Structure 1
């Protein structure tokens, strides 16, 4: 080791990296200790050296208590070196090795000055580009100091490093990995990775395989491990996820904004100065709910679907992709949309989420998806029977509302009525799930004090079910129209609603009051209670008692069918027993009465028979959805079943009025689901530029990957032109096979990491019009049987037909 670097006397080595060594040294001129970082590159590059020296001069002008300043820079025997203030202590990586995961308060306390430092640098036009724990020093007083802005870049415009990587792969932003672009937002992403490490005690993306680490960051959303739900609440998780959003547009706009979000988390306004007792109680209950392991997941999923459907740029692909991430959820939704109620609207069997959205609309599919998710979270609990009762009761309210409003209403109106009525009593459902003891106490208070349910809830919970439901609905991002419909109507006769919004609220209240009558009324009270409802709503709803009874009877049939679809034994629920009472086939109480079952009840699932309109050939799909074992033979059968159902789906669409994009989306989704591809992309020819352009797809980052599919149709001897020019389907089992590796174009290798893919060209009169691409990650993972290939080609031909009909 040299004794000197420039005029500086080396004392000892402090640490080293792949291209650098850090020394403790003494400045003989100013009689002080300094830290010197030497930079050694494998190939001499005078231009790079000049750039780094210019950046070092810029960074040396930064003055902030949380930034380790650069004193000077120079070169020694062709290697650059930077001279920093020496800060006694240890770096954050070493600190975390000793401490492990930190509490949220302590982690945020460290992040705040770090973000202040980054914000100060950004204001001066400087991006760090290598923010990581080893570049953050913790001094002897415990104060974090950011260092090593030596590879920073100017923030004027966007930097582009071409093919050269600058920084540490595990802390790079997705856009830098995929596009070699970095900006202030890239530092925000890196700050999110540092925060993750502070909270969890380990890197967000572990591993020694650099390429795999970078692929994970570029292609997958970073999420907290399941065990973190016990220590981190939902709000902090959302804060972290916003910093780690792969799309820079979805991150915090600046480091300063992220710092403010952390400040707000530690001292939220609602806790320091609550606006009223109701809001304070909602916050208290929300905190309790967050400790339940599945509330954050449920909240995040519901919120995501609500955000998509509320967006001005509503996208069928966005909704479908969100649902398709969960195979089990997908199958349960398709079961539900093919139930008796929805089948009529769909004009036949619906076998893809994309067609469900086209036929039923975004709002309806949102309702179904959230309903299924709620039900999934309500199962397997100690109070499961009570929860299923509440779930069925909510759905009965929606069905009643739809039946009452069906005369003269459009499909869209009926779906709004159903959704608003189903979620009208969301507070009671959530209370039963998250606070079962308090819910039991509420029922006891109602019986003992003969008071209303809302008054009892106010006494036990500190707020009514109505306020609880509205508070959670607002937290989940439900539309304002739906939230407003959750407000109860005042006592007495109901006046004619002045607006469509008032009518939704009125119908939601009517259906839920009728539900209460059905569930709580003894047989001798039925007539009196129905007459009361007719009197209360008679001025606005043209229903007499007899018509109301017929409406109730029709609704019972639909709820019975729903129970079978959701695999609920209706006879074991309180609602199921009350349905028998209203039908006059049993009396309340007594083992003998409960043992009697009519043929009608057996056919409708009331005797414990599970109804399912899943076709026998789809049984394998069900086993996959439920996590059961499936043999290769069954897997092939499942694939064929999905493909055949998709072909029927497309056929139904083609014989009706259709948009070509909707049909193509159904085809692409069918292929995606059938074969378990990682992603499926549809490309369309652009006639003006004579290029093939990716349009949309399914799978991780499908939209981003589709944008990378762009190549000229001027012939070159590669795989894609061979498929398109000759109109042949091509399966590449291994992109690294020496026999074909030269035929894989460079644009493709930059676009995806998949090692196996299949291409189905869409040609008209020998001219390529479009292309369906599907892939898997590892070589050899795509195996297509002769029957599957025939069905896939049928789907491809349907796509050609759809395009022909649209021209």
Structure 2
């Protein structure tokens, strides 16, 4: 090529990519060396070049010490070129090839500089789109500097595939691969991959098969390898994993927020003279948790439930999926939903989580799930009685906050207040769980010195309960709203809250102080303490003594009903006896005798077992169509669940229903009854004349649903055979030579399943939707004639719902 690009004199080549070359060059006007990236297009396009030049000039406005600036962008003979500041040094990919994995003390400063640069670009409305180690320079002063904010990547993508994909596959965010949707959080995902590489010394997803890498990004959670986790602080592990969440809503909200979290980890804020003891307690507790995984397992479940997006269509499916992963949790929630209290609230005769959400609301079901999860993780401990007391206090605080919050701020905030109040004393609960002897000593100090609880905890543990709870909640990734609600209010009159987050903090404090009045004071002192609390919170919440007394009375009834639904005998707990002393009648507070193991007892609902693998249950026919398929051994349980689901759908159809609600209930019933690995709904898109996956149940169902995308123009495969003929089809073995040729390529790429079911939904013989269900291994789906009839009834109800919705 010419020894010049524009006015710049080429000195030598520095590197090249598929459609670009980087040169060391000299600017004769300003007498300085620069780096030039030339972009060559197979199909020159003047409009494309004009747009890319405009984007490059916008990027050239960025001025930040951790960004390599663009000096100039221009066009020559149909090709674009970008002129950068020459930064002596090497890129991060080359740096890591030499150094290997970096210790956190060296890796995090590099990452902080990268996030500073990305945050600055985001503030200017610019998304990088191709953040990766080779686009990060480490200069001679060891300062990280980010370059190439997506301009070259977009140009190269357009020159090769029409702009469908932009960037490097191994660093693409799942939502971008699946939906071509990019945002600031896509850059955060890439930043998480860079941080992974810094700490591990290699790519998270290596390999030359681009399609396989992209499939794994969509379908697999990226987690640090076990050998690396063993070397890192648990909080740092969580920070990396949060950045790498597949759902962008679960990642950091911004690069600035991720930077703040890393900086806090690298430079923890001092908290006075007790900081060393405080940190020692936290570190010791985290180490103990690694060996006793109950509470971390709880935190993951609660965090997943709390982070569910508020978008109605997706959040209901996400919540139901999260709950349905735990068979025991599902049955216990349905037991609660069908208890006397929730029957009065509008529940009753509900057999699916999806229907429970429709009737009671997403927030109410979320609160139930978290309550049951917390209780389950407190069972079978040596200090179980004390833990049950702590649980009852937490539950009563949540119910009080919901009651008061609903009356003060409206029903929509009641469930948020419940969650915040329930975890207000997480520190005390953790201490009782992991440090039972120290907790007993704290109680002795309280009696001997007559001091505040946090002061006693500070003396014994070196940290207050509030600080302990906040530190662990942050490590677990709890939402800021819950963490903030753990902060103690100052003594004296409480000021009026400034916003919703402040209001939840006040409600959490008020409800927990009310619990203290009930749980810790003899009955003759309770009226005096109630007046004190009314005076303390009167201005902030606008409640008086009578309001608080009525709230307590209503809340005690709910706690008693909840105890009955989970077979917990209040009279066998100290806090339960204190509740009785408040003045409620014994009949309303004492639950029926618990079973011998003091567990949750039997339910009015059938305890449905997951369908066992049917390797030993060969179908009677290899034919794909449902004809004479043998029934399974647990037909009674299947039939009961299918019939209950049919009733759920019928109840929804006679009410003011939403179509998606009915479809979710239908799919969840099939999922629970038949033991499918996943069930997915596909809907016909009129504009593209194609079938598109919408939502479903089972592992990664939402991600897998996005891969169901095929044209309805006829093709001789199984899916078109089912849809065109309106025939229900079961494929027992996708690798059967008689069937294999009729399994389309898009399906084999989208999902790994050796057996599946297709149930078309047709109106006037025209397919409008499709239900797909699968299992992993050939022969695992076995359906009796009776169950097939019930499945078809469910499907027909879904068709009726589609007709009624227009």
In the superposition, the TM-score normalised over structure 1's length comes to 0.67
Match of 1:513 among 513, 517, 541: 517
Q: What is the SS of the residue equivalent to 2:546?
A: coil
Residues 686 and 205 of structure 1, relative CA distance in 2, 3 Å threshold: closer
Q: Separation in 1 of the partners of 2:412 and 2:263?
A: 43
Q: 292-301 or 468-477, which moves further after superposition?
A: 468-477
Q: Separation in 2 of the partners of 1:608 and 1:86?
A: 72
Q: Separation in 1 of the partners of 2:606 and 2:16?
A: 61
Q: Separation in 1 of the partners of 2:712 and 2:512?
A: 57
Q: Separation in 1 of the partners of 2:555 and 2:126?
A: 68
Q: Partner residue of 2:566? A: 562
Q: Partner residue of 1:199? A: 199
- The answer to whether the 8 Å contact 2:129/2:167 transfers is yes
Q: What is the SS of the residue equivalent to 2:386?
A: helix
Q: Partner residue of 2:651? A: 655
Q: Partner residue of 1:540? A: 546
Q: Separation in 1 of the partners of 2:140 and 2:413?
A: 66
Instruction: Map 1:415-564 to 2 at 5 A.
Output: 422-423=422-423, 425-433=425-433, 435-451=435-451, 453=453, 456-457=456-457, 459-460=459-460, 465=465, 476-477=478-479, 483=485, 509-517=513-521, 528=524, 539-540=545-546, 558-559=562-563, 561-564=565-568
Shift of 1:217: 0.9
Give the greater-gyration-radius structure (CA): 1
Q: Partner residue of 1:353? A: 353
| Aligned residue pairs, count | 737
Q: What is the SS of the residue equivalent to 1:540?
A: helix
- Post-superposition Cα deviations, 1:745-800, rounded to whole Å, max 9, x if no partner, equal 56656755656432111234534343212245x56265223254344333223323
Q: Partner residue of 1:724? A: 723
Q: Separation in 2 of the partners of 1:579 and 1:124?
A: 57
- The answer to whether the 8 Å contact 2:111/2:195 transfers is yes
- Residue 370 (structure 1) aligned with residue 331 (structure 2): no
- Residue 645 (structure 1) aligned with residue 651 (structure 2): no
Residues 705 and 299 of structure 1, relative CA distance in 2, 3 Å threshold: same
Shift of 1:371: 1.9
Residues 735 and 531 of structure 1, relative CA distance in 2, 3 Å threshold: same
Q: Partner residue of 2:106? A: 106
Q: Partner residue of 1:604? A: 593
Q: What is the SS of the residue equivalent to 2:221?
A: coil
Residues 741 and 65 of structure 1, relative CA distance in 2, 3 Å threshold: farther
Q: Separation in 1 of the partners of 2:67 and 2:188?
A: 16
Residues 717 and 605 of structure 1, relative CA distance in 2, 3 Å threshold: same
Instruction: Map 1:584-733 to 2 at 5 A.
Output: 604-605=593-594, 608=597, 610-614=599-603, 618=607, 620-621=609-610, 641=637, 644-655=640-651, 657-658=654-655, 659-661=657-659, 662-685=661-684, 692-699=691-698, 702-703=701-702, 705-707=704-706, 709=708, 713=712, 715-733=714-732
Shift of 1:402: 8.9
Q: Separation in 2 of the partners of 1:539 and 1:783?
A: 61
Residues 403 and 219 of structure 1, relative CA distance in 2, 3 Å threshold: closer
Q: Partner residue of 1:784? A: 782
Q: What is the SS of the residue equivalent to 1:771?
A: strand
Q: What is the SS of the residue equivalent to 1:315?
A: helix
Q: Separation in 2 of the partners of 1:794 and 1:446?
A: 63
Q: What is the SS of the residue equivalent to 2:524?
A: helix
Instruction: Map 1:55-204 to 2 at 5 A.
Output: 101-112=101-112, 152-154=152-154, 161=161, 170-174=170-174, 177-178=177-178, 189-204=189-204
In the superposition, the TM-score normalised over structure 2's length comes to 0.67
- The answer to whether the 8 Å contact 2:89/2:137 transfers is yes
Residues 227 and 97 of structure 1, relative CA distance in 2, 3 Å threshold: same
Q: Separation in 1 of the partners of 2:492 and 2:635?
A: 54
Residues 164 and 232 of structure 1, relative CA distance in 2, 3 Å threshold: same
- The answer to whether the 8 Å contact 1:640/1:791 transfers is no
Q: Separation in 1 of the partners of 2:558 and 2:135?
A: 68
- The answer to whether the 8 Å contact 2:567/2:591 transfers is no
Q: Separation in 2 of the partners of 1:578 and 1:731?
A: 59
- The answer to whether the 8 Å contact 1:728/1:761 transfers is yes
Q: Separation in 2 of the partners of 1:149 and 1:399?
A: 50
Shift of 1:443: 0.5
Q: Separation in 1 of the partners of 2:137 and 2:412?
A: 59
Shift of 1:216: 1.5
- Post-superposition Cα deviations, 1:505-550, rounded to whole Å, max 9, x if no partner, equal 7666445522335xxx6xxxxx635676788889515979xx97x9
- The answer to whether the 8 Å contact 1:404/1:551 transfers is no
Residues 176 and 373 of structure 1, relative CA distance in 2, 3 Å threshold: same
Q: 505-514 or 569-578, which moves further after superposition?
A: 569-578
Shift of 1:648: 0.7
Q: Separation in 2 of the partners of 1:611 and 1:307?
A: 28
Residues 674 and 410 of structure 1, relative CA distance in 2, 3 Å threshold: farther
- The answer to whether the 8 Å contact 1:681/1:773 transfers is yes
Q: Separation in 1 of the partners of 2:512 and 2:679?
A: 41
Q: Separation in 2 of the partners of 1:403 and 1:146?
A: 51
Q: What is the SS of the residue equivalent to 1:395?
A: helix
Q: Separation in 2 of the partners of 1:183 and 1:156?
A: 20
- Post-superposition Cα deviations, 1:76-112, rounded to whole Å, max 9, x if no partner, equal xxxxxxxx99999998678767866433221123435
Q: Partner residue of 2:320? A: 320
Shift of 1:67: 9.8
Residues 765 and 306 of structure 1, relative CA distance in 2, 3 Å threshold: same
- The answer to whether the 8 Å contact 2:717/2:742 transfers is yes
Instruction: Map 1:5-84 to 2 at 5 A.
Output: none
Shift of 1:712: 5.6
What is the RMSD computed on CA atoms of the aligned residues?
6.7
Q: Separation in 2 of the partners of 1:753 and 1:695?
A: 18
Q: Separation in 2 of the partners of 1:169 and 1:653?
A: 43
- Post-superposition Cα deviations, 1:630-663, rounded to whole Å, max 9, x if no partner, equal 9978x95568635632531440452365314322
Shift of 1:374: 2.5
- The answer to whether the 8 Å contact 2:726/2:760 transfers is yes
Q: What is the SS of the residue equivalent to 1:528?
A: coil
Q: Partner residue of 1:793? A: 792
- The answer to whether the 8 Å contact 1:640/1:674 transfers is no
- The answer to whether the 8 Å contact 1:185/1:248 transfers is yes
- The answer to whether the 8 Å contact 2:641/2:673 transfers is no
Q: Separation in 2 of the partners of 1:227 and 1:572?
A: 46
Q: 683-692 or 216-225, which moves further after superposition?
A: 683-692
- Post-superposition Cα deviations, 1:221-257, rounded to whole Å, max 9, x if no partner, equal 3233567666545654454345434456876788788
Shift of 1:146: 8.1
Q: Partner residue of 1:79? A: none
- The answer to whether the 8 Å contact 2:606/2:637 transfers is yes
Shift of 1:214: 3.0
Q: Separation in 1 of the partners of 2:202 and 2:265?
A: 22
- Which segments of 5 or more consecutive residues in structure 2 lack a partner in the other structure? 1-9, 25-34, 71-83, 494-502, 535-543, 618-630
